[in-house]
Chain A
Amino acid sequence: MAEGDKRPDHKAYWRETVRLTISLLIIWFAVSYGAGILFRDFLDQVSIGGAPLGFWFAQQGAIYVFVVLIFVYCWAMRRIEKKYGVEA
């Protein structure tokens, strides 16, 4: 691969990676600091089973979402890599 046609491609690859990272981190923030701490009183008006929702997010829900977030990241990165012909 020549130097010239490789660099610009990788700039776009990096831009997409950063965009993906930021969107996932917004969700990461929302489920833990948001639902579990900052807005828990509001969410506690609703219950999931026998637990107030805000409390549930702080002790269970956030962790489940974290797991899903990492696997979504893996899947989305593979797609971006395929698009730009990067092999990981």
Chain B
Amino acid sequence: MLDAWTLFFVITTFALYIGIAIWARAGSTDDFYVAGHDVHPTVNGMATAADWMSAASFLSMAGLIAFMGYGGSVYLMGWTGGFVLLALLLAPFLREFGKFTVPDFVGDRYYSTTARIIAVVCALFVSFTYIAGQMKGVGVAFSGFLGVPFEWGIAIGMVIVFFYAVLGGMKGVTYTQVAQYCVLIFAFTVPAIFMSLIITGNPVPQLGFIGEAKGEGVAMLTKLNTVLNDLGFGEYTRSDKARIDMFCITAALMFGTAGLPHVIIRFFTVKSAGAARVSAGWALVFIALLYTTAPAVGAFARINFIDTVNESTYIADNEDYDARAAEIEADGGKPVPTWYKTWETTGLLAFEDKNGDGVMQYRGPDAPDGVENEVSPDRDIFVLANPQIANLPGWVIGLVVAGGLAAALSTAAGLLMVISSAVSHDLCRRTIFKDMTDKDELRVARASAAGAVLAAGLLGIFSSQLGFVAQVVAFAFGLAAASLFPVIFLGIFWKRMNREGAIAAMVTGLATTFGYIYWFKFVDTDPAHWLFGVSPEGIGFVFMWVAAAVGVVVALATKAPPQDIQDLVEDIRVPGMRTPHGSGDTEMAPLSDR
């Protein structure tokens, strides 16, 4: 699959990222942690979109939806609805609070080093599980498209991220994320527009999605339902999931999104609470561009896959493709499409001729004609192969690879900032060496960013050998929803919430969610034993309520927080009113807005 265009796009975009890194070097801890907190709201919105949309959003989500149909809606609603919660409940108030990290808020608001350390543990756990998947994605992209060994692919990714995260800190990360957003959205929408034109005749994928199949006088989705029914799959617009499970997974993803530290810290980089609100709106606009296109891509890809692959005659590698294809067509048959042959080598597609007729039968579990399924596509194929399915020029594939790398690297960088600031700021500056100078802290911050890059790379290599990345992603959202979200939310909206309640809530959320996911992913994998029929992916939502309830009960049973902390809460509720309160602000003054 080594292709000059792919090489060209990857090298050009990487050179761009390094160029930005050199231009946006960080000169102070302010620059390093929060990009000098004067990023324009729209720019921050774009950076947040890239920060948020990972390799999974770019590569896997449309394919997941193609397979799951309506069931895939949990990702669409879950990963966008969280931004409403962020904008309304967290972002403006955390910006008004005016520190550097999520553990900063937890530690200062709950006047407790213990609470800060627990928050650091949550943030590190969430970020490391997440970053392993990103580094793995980078390795896969390099090994699949540029013929570079998997480990070397990760190493190249590490060097690039090292450049802008260590040199530029949040400032470098912000501006490279903006560039990465442009690359990834262009790479995602261009093939989608062509797919939409081919299948529905409408250039706007969102409209083609609800339009008619081209030249057939029947709605595209109706056609898809009929086709899937005939092949023994469930209908596309029906669900294979229980309603309660859909509800809980959507909610766990939403609250998890709002509680993810690498998303929250992006809102510390704007200049005021008002700017944080507007910025969240822009972030969702940029995310929605991809997220409303993805379901259309999923449906188009499924139709196209069935149209071109099902009942086509297979051509083996040792045959002359063109001659054999002409022969098959002359016999009134359908030859296997060229894109299938190109992608077969990657192992993302597999054909097993079970009935020995040389024809590829694609069937669901209850096929009416009783034919066994012979074709197994990997879900990632649907985004990757789109440019070829749509007969787009070769350079578009290179663009898609560069887009996938941009999505993975931008998310990895955001996570690295959380990891390094948790170590250099929360552990070193705020807990162990309280009299550290700004200059020393910046040095430690760079060093811990470098260490974090190394750890992330090793984790990417190590975890893919174990093959558990997909399993642990459920951890990240579930833990963020159950451990971080309740304490941050109650810290703003309930003045009476105190140290004891916060610690109890975080420990409860962490222990219950971790225990449940671990048990049902690794020990007892039988869905029949799930609590209320809720899968490990959705359980974070249930335990979020348990954690919040435990927190509230413990808080009411113990002493109210000191007056200066209650004053602090009143201050962060009203923009422009922030004045120093409590021991946390004596140690480190809050950022001033204007």
Q: How would residues 196 to 222 of chain B score, 1 for a CB under 8 Å from any chain A CB and 0 otherwise? A: 000000000011011110000011111
Given contacts A51-B219, A73-B277, A74-B278, contact A24 B81 (CB under 8 A): no
When distances are taken between beta carbons in the complex, the residues of chain A under 8 Å from B179 are none
Give the shortest distance, in Å, between B201 (CB) and chain A (any CB). Answer: 13
In the complex, which residues 41-60 of chain A have their Cβ closer than 8 Å to any Cβ of chain B? 44, 47-52, 55-56, 58-60
Does the CB pair B573–A17 fall under 8 Å? yes
Contact (Cβ within 8 A) A50 B219: yes
Whether A66 and B76, one on each chain, are in contact in the complex, defined by CB atoms closer than 8 angstroms, is: no
Contact with A along B276-296 (1 / 0, CB 8 A): 011011001100100110010
Within 34-88 of A, Cβ neighbours of B (below 8 Å) are at 36-38, 44, 47-52, 55-56, 58-60, 62-64, 66-67, 69-71, 73-74, 77-78, 81, 86-88
Cβ contact within 8 Å between B210 and A63: no
Chain B residues in the interface with A (C-beta under 8 A): 65, 70, 72-73, 76-77, 80-81, 83-85, 87-89, 92, 206-207, 209-212, 218-222, 237, 243, 246-247, 250-251, 272-274, 277-278, 280-281, 284-285, 288, 291-292, 295, 493, 570, 573-577
Is the Cβ of A63 less than 8 Å from the Cβ of B76? Answer: yes
How many A-B residue pairs have C-beta atoms within 8 angstroms? Tell me.
134
- A-B contact list, 5 entries, CB within 8 Å: A48-B210, A49-B219, A50-B219, A52-B221, A70-B83
Residue contact A70 to B210, C-beta cutoff 8 Å: no
- Which of the listed residues B77, B212, B222, B284 has the most CB atoms from chain A within 10 Å of its own CB? B77
CA distance A18 to B84 in the complex (A): 14
- Set of chain B residues within 8 Å of A73, measured between Cβ atoms: 87-88, 277, 281
B209 touches A60 (CB 8 A): yes
Contact flag A21-B84 (CB < 8 Å), given A67-B285, A86-B575? no
The B-contacting residues of A in range 4-26, CB under 8 angstroms, are: 10, 13-14, 17-18, 21, 24-25
Asked if B88 and A88 sit within 8 Å, CB to CB, the answer is no
Residues on A facing B (Cβ under 8 Å): 10, 13-14, 17-18, 21, 24-25, 28, 32-33, 36-38, 44, 47-52, 55-56, 58-60, 62-64, 66-67, 69-71, 73-74, 77-78, 81, 86-88
Residues of B within 8 A of A18 (CB): 493
Name the distance in Å between B38's Cβ and chain A's nearest Cβ. Answer: 15
Given the contacts A49-B210, A50-B220, A60 and B295 also touching, CB distance less than 8 Å: yes
| B280 interface neighbour in A38, A56, A70, A78, Cβ under 8 Å | A70
Q: Is the interface of A mostly helix, strand, loop or mixed?
A: helix
Nearest CB in chain B to that of A41: its residue: B243
Return the chain B residue nearest A70 by Cβ.
Answer: B281
> Which residues of A have CB within 8 Å of B219?
47, 49-51
B76, B85, B575: the one contacting A87 at CB < 8 Å is B575
Q: Which chain A residues border B285 with CB–CB below 8 Å?
A: 67
Give bound CA distance, A32 to B82, whole Å: 11
Closest 10 CB pairs of A and B: A50-B219, A49-B210, A88-B274, A88-B575, A58-B73, A70-B281, A59-B295, A51-B210, A55-B237, A70-B87
Query: A50-B220, A73-B281 are known contacts; what are 10 more A-B pairs with Cβ within 8 Å?
Result: A10-B573, A10-B577, A17-B573, A37-B247, A50-B219, A55-B70, A55-B73, A58-B70, A58-B73, A87-B575
Please name the residue on chain B nearest to A6 by beta carbon: B577
Once the chains are docked, how many angstroms separate the CA of A32 from the CA of B577?
Answer: 35
B76: chain A residues at CB < 8 Å are 58-59, 62-63
The answer to whether A58 touches B77, judged by C-beta atoms less than 8 angstroms apart, is yes
Q: A10 to B77: give the CA distance in the assembly, Å.
A: 34
Q: Which residue of A lies closest to B576 (CB)?
A: A87
The answer to whether B570 and A10 touch across the interface, beta carbons within 8 angstroms, is yes
- Chain B residues contacting A24 (CB-CB under 8 Å) are 84, 88
Residue in chain A with minimal CB distance to B71: A58
Q: Is B81 a contact of A62 with CB atoms below 8 Å?
A: yes
Verify B221–A51 contact, CB threshold 8 A.
yes
Instruction: Check A50 against B212 for contact (C-beta < 8 Å).
Output: yes
Contacts of A63 in B (CB 8 A): 76-77, 80, 288, 291-292
B85 — which chain A residues lie within 8 A by C-beta? 28
